[in-house]
Structure 1
Amino acid sequence: MHTMWKGTISFGLVNIPVKLHAATENKDIKLRQLHEECKSPVEYEKRCPVCEREIDSKEIVKAYEYAKNKFVVLDKEDLDQLKKEQEDKAVEIMDFVKLEEIDPIYFERSYFISPSEGGTKAYSLLRQALGDTGKIGIAKIIIRSKEQLAIVRVYENTLVMETIHYPDEVRSVQDVPNVPEETELSKKELSTAVTLIDQLTAEFDPEKYKDDYRTALMELIEAKKNNEEVTTAKDKPKPDNVTNLMDALEKSLEKTKGPKKKKTTKKKTKTTTSGKKKTS
C-alpha cells in the first residue's frame, strides 16, 4: 500500500512514528471526450489570452486574487518554505472526544495509519487506550500544502486518521432555500411513517450495497467492445516544416510592410507661347 505521508503522532509525552495510506479509492469510470467527427481525444491547452500563445507549466506562477484582476504573486520558494515549516512539526493530538459528538457532515477523507520503525509499541498503546475509553483524538496535520483538522480513531484493529472540515467550511443551514418550518402533521401520517421506518430497519452491512450504475456502465462498455463497436483515434498529423516556414515568412513580410501609403499625383505644368505656365 502506497505511503503518502510520514511523520509523528504524539499525545502527552508519547511519540509514535507513523505512515499514512489512503483508506479509500475512487472507482468512478472515467470517460474521455472525443471529437465526434474524427473520434480523436480533445486536447486542453494552457493558453495566455494576452500573449496569444500556449504556455509551458514552467511559466506558471501561483497567486491570490484579492480583488477583480488584482493579484498577490506567491513565489515557489516562499510556499515551499512555509510547507516545510509546517510539515516538520509533529502531529499532536490536542483533545479526546466521543465520536458521536461529531456530525458526519464534518468528515472528509480517511487514511489508514501504520507504525514506522520503532513505533509498534506506542501504536499498540494508543490503539488499546482509544478502544478502552471509546474516545477519538482531535489533531491537525498538513496534507498537500493544506492544514487539515483530523481525528484519530480505531477501525477494526487499525488506527485511522480522518480529515474533517473546519466549522467555517461547513455552510450554514440558514442559507438552504425553501426549507419548511414546523408543519402540522396528523397522528396517522406520522404513525404510518414510523411503522415504515421500523419495517425497513436493519443492521448496517456495507457488503449488500452495490454501485448499480457503475456495474451497468461497465457491462455496456464490454458488450460494445465484444461486438467490435470500437473506434481508433487517428494519428495526429505531423507538422510540415516547409509549410510552417513559408507561413512564418509570409507573416513576417506582412508585418514589415506596414500600412499602405496612398499614391499622390503630381500636377504637370506646361509653358504657353506667351511664356505663362499653365497647370493641367
Structure 2
Amino acid sequence: MRAIWKGAVAFGLVNVPVKVYSATEDHDIALHQVHDKDGGRIRYQRRCEICGEIVDFKHIDKAYDDGERTVVLTDDDLASLPVEKSREIEVVEFVPSAQIDPIMFDRSYFLEPDSTSIKAYVLLRKTLEETDRTAVVQFSLRQKSRLAALRVRGDVLMLQTLLWNDEVRDAAFPALEEKVRISAKEKEMSAALVESFSTDFDPENFSDDYQVQLRTLIDAKIEKGDTLDTEETFGGESGDDDGDNVLDLMEALRRSVEKNREKKASASKATGASKKKGA
C-alpha cells in the first residue's frame, strides 16, 4: 500500500504522527464505451467553449458561478486556505461508539505509526478499546474539511470519514404515518424467521455475483468470439419465480421459515455424509 497523506493525531497535548492509507479498494471490472457500429473507442475531450481549443489538465482551474459572475480559483488560491495547510487530525471529542449512526460513514482509512516510538499510538488505541469510545476528529484532505470517526480495528487505528449532518436526508414517507396492527402471532412468526436465518457474520461467505458473471461472459466472448449471448454463457438458469401470486404476510413468513429449515437440514445432511465418506 502507498500512503496518501501524512499528519498527526492531536490527542490533547499528545501528538501521534501517522501515515494514512486507503483501507478499501475497488475490484470492479473496468469497462469503457465504444461505438456499436465499428467498436471504436468513445473518448471525451475537455474543449473550451470560448476558443474551441482542447485543454490539458495543467491549464484547467476551478471556478464558482453564481449565475451572473464567475470566480476563477487557481491551485495557489486553494492551497492558501488555512485549513488546507493543516496536517493535524484534531480530536474534538470522545463519544460512545454506538452513538454514531452507520448512515454517516463514508470512506475508510488505516493509520500507520510514523515515528521511531509507537508508544503514543498504542496509548491512544488502548484508550479507545478500554473505554469503548470513538474519537470524533476533524482534518483536511484533498481540499476538503473532513469530519471523521477514529476507532480501533484489530491492532490498527482507522479513520472513517463521516458525512456532514446536512448531507443525510430526512426520511419522511407519508405511508409510514399509517397505523398498522401487527398481531402477536405475526410477530412470533417473524421472530421465528429471523431465528432460522441467524448466524455469525463472515464476509468471506459472500461474493460479488455480478462481477463473477461479468468475468465469465467476457472470458466466453474472448474464447468463442463475439457470438455468444448471455443466456448461452450462464446456461439459461433463472431463479424461482412465483409469478403474480400474492401471499398474505403470515403465509409468507410460514413458508420462509419452512424453506430455510429445509435448506439448513439439507446442508447438515450433506456435511454429515461428507464426513462419513472421508472417515
TM-score range with shorter-chain normalisation? 0.7 to 0.9
Q: What's the counterpart of residue 34 of structure 1?
A: 34
CA contact (8 A) 1:130 1:136 kept: yes
Say whether residues 1:188 and 2:185 are aligned partners.
yes
Q: How far, CA to CA, are the matches of 1:50 and 1:22 in structure 2?
A: 39
Among candidates 222, 234, 237, match of residue 225 of structure 1: 222
CA contact (8 A) 1:17 1:119 kept: no
TM-score, normalised to structure 2, is: 0.75
Task: Indicate whether 1:73 and 2:72 are aligned.
Answer: yes
State the partner residue of 1:13.
Answer: 13
Listed as ranges, the matches of 1:235-274 within 5 Å are none
Tell me, in whole angstroms, the C-alpha distance in 1 between the residues paired with 2:68 and 2:52.
18
Mapping of 1:48-127 within 5 angstroms? 48-66=48-66, 68-82=67-81, 85-127=83-125
**Is 1:198 paired with 2:211?**
no
Deviations 1:165-184 (A, max 9, x none): 1111111223x575453322
In structure 1, what residue type is equivalent to 2:187? L
Percent identity reads 38
Shift of residue 137, structure 1, vs aligned partner:
0.7
Equivalent pair of 2:86/2:139 in contact (CA under 8 Å): no
Question: Given residue 93 of structure 1, which amino acid in structure 2 is its aligned partner?
Answer: V
Identify the range of structure 1 (50-59 vs 34-43) with the bigger mean alpha-carbon deviation: 50-59
Q: Is this contact kept in 2: 1:99–1:135, CA < 8 A?
A: yes
CA contact (8 A) 2:84 2:144 kept: no
Give the conservation status (yes or no) of the 8 Å contact 2:89–2:138: yes
SS at match of 1:7: strand
Give the RMSD, CA atoms, in angstroms. 2.0
Inter-partner Cα distance in structure 2 for 1:201 and 1:213: 25
Aligned residues: 227
- Does 87-96 or 114-123 show the bigger shift? 87-96
* Cα shift readout 1:110-132 (whole Å, capped 9, x = no counterpart): 11110002341111111111111
Distance 1:118 1:182, change over 3 A: farther
Find out whether 1:167 has 2:144 as its counterpart: no
DSSP 3-state at the match of 1:47: coil
Structure number with the higher helix fraction is 2
Change (3 A) 1:102 1:184: same
Q: Is the contact between residue 17 and residue 118 of structure 1 (CA under 8 Å) also seen in structure 2?
A: no
The code of the aligned residue for 1:80 comes to: A
Which of the two has greater strand per residue? 1
Paired amino acid for 1:77: D
1:236-273 deviations in Å (ceiling 9; x for gaps): xxxxxxxxxxxxxxxxxxxxxxxxxxxxxxxxxxxxxx
Show CA shifts across 1:204-228 (max 9, x none).
1111111111111111111221224
The structure with the larger Rg is: 1
**Residue segments in structure 2 that go unaligned for 5+ positions in a row:** 228-279
